[in-house]
Each structure stands twice: as C-alpha cells, then as structure tokens.
Amino acid sequence: MESGEALNVAREAKSKTPEYMDPNDPLALTLGDEVEVTPEGVGGAPAVSGRVHVLAPNEVVILRTDARVGEVAVHFPRVGYRVHRA
C-alpha cells in the first residue's frame, strides 16, 4: 500500500477500542487525562501526547489528533514506556 493510500484508510477509520481503566493502576489517572508516553532507554525519542483512553496492566492507549488523519488511537505496551501527565 502506498503511503497516501494508508493515510486515506487511517482518515476514514474509527477507533473500536473500548475505554478501560484499571481500578488498581498506580498512576491515579482517569479517562481523558492529558498524558505523554515516552520510550525508556531511547535517547532523544520524542514523547507522544494524547488523552488516556485505555490504562491496563499491559497496555496504554491514548487518543491524539493528527493533522493528516484526524483522531487516532495509539497503542503502547506498558513495559519499556513511561506515562506521565502532560
């Protein structure tokens, strides 16, 4: 698939990931909180910012808006990434 076609597919797609919050999560965040997700141990890697959509023991999902495709759900594993309030 060409990059332009992939952007069109992403623009038309809607997230089907249901909201979820682990009630025992130690970060004390809530759905919709603005956060940044940063990889650990990668010098200079940029943080990705968005709103908490899922905070589970093994995964964090943030919703963010991209100028080219609109709102997207970005999934990160919990291991190897830091999540903190923006």
CATH number for 77: 3.40.30.110
Give residue 63's domain range.
Answer: 3-85
Q: Print pLDDT tens along the chain (86 aa).
A: 999 898 888 888 888 889 999 999 999 999 999 999 999 887 778 899 999 999 999 999 999 998 888 999 999 999 999 999 99
Q: Decide: helix, strand or coil at residue 13.
A: coil
- The domain tally of the chain equals 1
pTM score: 0.86
* H-helix or E-strand spanning residue 66: strand 59-66
Q: Residue 81 has what pLDDT?
A: 94
Contact status, residue 71 vs residue 64, Cβ threshold 8 Å = yes
How many Å is the maximal CA-CA distance in the chain? 42
Q: Residue 2 has what pLDDT?
A: 93
Q: Residue 13 has what pLDDT?
A: 86
Contact status, residue 61 vs residue 50, Cβ threshold 8 Å = no
